[in-house]
Amino acid sequence: MHISEIRVGVSSCGLAAGANKVLKQLQERTDIPVVGVGCIGHCYAEPLVEIVTDDFSVLYGNVEANETDLSEILAGNDYKRLILRPERTQRENLRLTSIIGKFEPIDLSAYISYGGFKGLKKALHMAPEYLVQEITQSQLRGRGGGGFPTGVKWSLLAQKDSTDKVIICNADEGDPGAFMDRSLMESLPYQILEGMLIAAYATGATQLYIYCRAEYPLAIRNLGSAINAIKSNGLNYIQGNALDIQIKEGAGAFVCGEETALIHSLEGKRGMPRFRPPYPTDSGYNGLPSMISNVETFANVPVIVRDGAEKFAAIGTEGGRGTKLFALAGDVKYPGLVEVPMGITLGEIIYNIGGAEPGTIKAVQTGGPSGGCIPAELFDTPVDYDSLRSLGAIMGSGGLIVIGNNRCMVETARYFLDFTHKESCGKCTFCRVGSKRMFEVLERITGGTGMPEDITFLENMGQKVRAGSLCGLGSTAPNPVLATLRFFRSEFEAHVLQRQCPAMQCASLSDVVLHHEACTECGRCMKICPVNAVTSDWTIDNSVCTRCNSCVEACPQHTISRAPGGSGYRSGSSTNKEAI
């Protein structure tokens, strides 16, 4: 076996799992070139090492930087070999990320050797109008969440009669639970920049900006290196003009993902949204006509131009064309990043690709805090913009958080409202005050002091916040609550009427119980308990216990479990109406 190259995945998630150590030690051990490559999306098996020989390549997962692991791998043994599951590979359709993880992300010549800049080259031989038409025909829609047809945006900007036009790449991926854009920026920076350059040629834009959140240092570093390499190789010359591409770092405000807020932040101001019209294509950054698209949207452009619009439009459904990246996390066995054709069902992503056990999952949250939950009964819904919207959820940017049976839906809704009410910029009263009131009510319900009228209050206020907010943040903030009320109303009712948490997650509505009959008194629970709530006669003092679940997970005999109880708990089916 002749090894020609060794690849180690060194994106943020790989680095967090210790990929850097693996990379360095492999480099010390061998003269074979060891390269740090982008993320191939199998996050459950980080750190990943790929051994490439002349004829084939072998993937290893969960590699540790120790003697056994590294020598076994270099010897080409099957030890820790990662066999990709056909349940996943058969459903994937790698177009956008087909070359991810094959080369060092900032290596320009490697990107070109894998077909990079072919799209730009082809584009420069096309008339700009024709190029706009090509994108329109591909039916590409904005991947950031809104789903606005990209071709329409391009033609609006192209029609503007101005010598100065701006293109902004929205890389402020703020949705908790979404990491598609981070992965693309870290692993395929050139593809995003190529897409932006093609857009600049098609629309006549002169200024290019990338607005990236500061929490992604590696993405900023890789994009910065890629921009420098593009400039020094003259690839930024469009029709004789050298275009400047700048990265602007965000400063931690979720609302800046909204386009008018983003523009204000780019201008160095507080990132507050404003009323539209005027739309950014009329008056955007510094008053210039501007077009804002998401990272994934730009990354799709070179592939569409290179392979032709028909190929892209042939994939997917009426409600969405092409492939889409999803960040799969939560209660699944194989979390990670997947690229699948639009129109695949939620069930295929969660059960087949994610490896979740049917029956153990109750819902999935799509679109983060702006989206909604979809219950397991509806997992045969095809994933596209229109189908998800009809269920009260949104496609969003592609974050999928899978929620297992043991999680409380009310608590999940409370979490999202906690996030949005803190991130509200404060401009619109309904968003500023309304979302806070909704959050307080949810706190009360999960705290075991909810009242029956709370449910109607949440529904009413939710409608008002939705109607009375200017931007996407406010108008979608009630979505998680409203969707949960629609599909999991019984859980809300159990909290306020019976004062019980069906998932037994809410601390004030549950106890931790040790069943002594099966207990071997091994003492693991005592040792792990942070507050010494396990008493010497093997019971749990629930007045001290913080419900951290450490003991439940630590017990080898599974004798400790959660049970109805807690300070707010009322036994039996009697309601608490009398009590109020």
Partner 1 sequence: MENTLSHLKHIDSDKGNIIKGLQLIQKNEGYLSDRALEICSHYFSVPLVEIQGIVTFYSQFKRTKPGKYQISICDGTACHLKGATLILDWIATELNIGAGETDSTGLFSLETVACLGCCSLAPVMSVNGDIFGNLSRKGVLQILKRYKRQG
Residue of 72, 341, 327 whose CA lies nearest to 178: 327
Determine the Cα–Cα distance for residues 508 and 497; give it in Å rounded to an integer: 15
Of 259-267, 291-299, 465-473, 558-566, which segment contacts partner 1 by CB under 8 A? 259-267
Of 66-74, 107-115, 147-155, 250-258, which segment contacts partner 1 by CB under 8 A? 250-258
Q: Are 397 and 175 in contact (CB under 8 A)?
A: yes
CB of 270 to partner 1, least distance (A): 4
Check residue 528 for interaction with partner 1 (CB under 8 A).
yes
Q: Are 349 and 326 in contact (CB under 8 A)?
A: yes
Check residue 314 for interaction with partner 1 (CB under 8 A).
no
Tokens matching residue 109: 């010549």
CB of 150 to partner 1, least distance (A): 25
Shorter beta-carbon distance to partner 1: residue 39 or 58: 39
Determine the Cα–Cα distance for residues 166 and 179; give it in Å rounded to an integer: 26
Shorter beta-carbon distance to partner 1: residue 219 or 235: 219
List, in order, residues 6 or more apart from 450 with CB less than 8 Å away: 441, 444, 495, 496, 499
Shorter beta-carbon distance to partner 1: residue 451 or 548: 548
CB of 135 to partner 1, least distance (A): 28
267, 307, 443, 459: which one binds partner 1 (CB under 8 A): 267
399, 472, 474, 565: which one binds partner 1 (CB under 8 A): 399
Check residue 164 for interaction with partner 1 (CB under 8 A).
no
CB of 144 to partner 1, least distance (A): 16
CB of 103 to partner 1, least distance (A): 22
CB of 252 to partner 1, least distance (A): 4
Q: Is the dihedral of CA 478, 483, 485, 491 positive or negative?
A: negative
Check residue 13 for interaction with partner 1 (CB under 8 A).
yes
Tokens matching residue 50: 């790929």
Check residue 286 for interaction with partner 1 (CB under 8 A).
yes
Residue of 214, 133, 139, 138 whose CA lies nearest to 173: 214
49, 96, 338, 403: which one binds partner 1 (CB under 8 A): 403
Determine the Cα–Cα distance for residues 389 and 430; give it in Å rounded to an integer: 23
Determine the Cα–Cα distance for residues 499 and 350; give it in Å rounded to an integer: 32
Of 26-34, 66-74, 276-284, 541-549, which segment contacts partner 1 by CB under 8 A? 541-549
Determine the Cα–Cα distance for residues 320 and 29; give it in Å rounded to an integer: 48
Tokens matching residue 305: 């131009």
Please write down the long-range contacts of 234-243, taking CB distance under 8 Å and 24 or more positions apart: 235/117, 235/120, 235/197, 236/197, 238/124, 238/197, 238/200, 238/201, 239/201, 241/206, 243/197, 243/200, 243/205, 243/206, 243/207, 243/208
44, 148, 279, 538: which one binds partner 1 (CB under 8 A): 44
Check residue 265 for interaction with partner 1 (CB under 8 A).
yes
Of 27-35, 69-77, 107-115, 410-418, which segment contacts partner 1 by CB under 8 A? 410-418
Of 108-116, 227-235, 396-404, 556-564, which segment contacts partner 1 by CB under 8 A? 396-404
Determine the Cα–Cα distance for residues 196 and 245; give it in Å rounded to an integer: 9
* Cis preceding-peptide flag for 277 (omega within 30 of 0): yes
Which residues, in sequence order, are bridge partners of residue 207?
166, 244
What are the two backbone dihedrals, phi and then psi, of residue 10, each rounded to the nearest 5 degrees?
A: -125, 40
Map residues 326-345 to x or -, x wherever contact with partner 1 holds by CB under 8 A.
-xxxxx---xx---------
CB of 380 to partner 1, least distance (A): 24
# residues contacting partner 1 (CB under 8 A): 61
Check residue 84 for interaction with partner 1 (CB under 8 A).
no
Interface residues with partner 1 (CB under 8 A) are 12-13, 15-17, 43-44, 46, 173-179, 182, 214-217, 248-254, 265-271, 286, 327-331, 335-336, 365, 368-369, 399, 401, 403, 407, 412, 415-416, 419, 423, 425, 528, 530, 546, 548-550
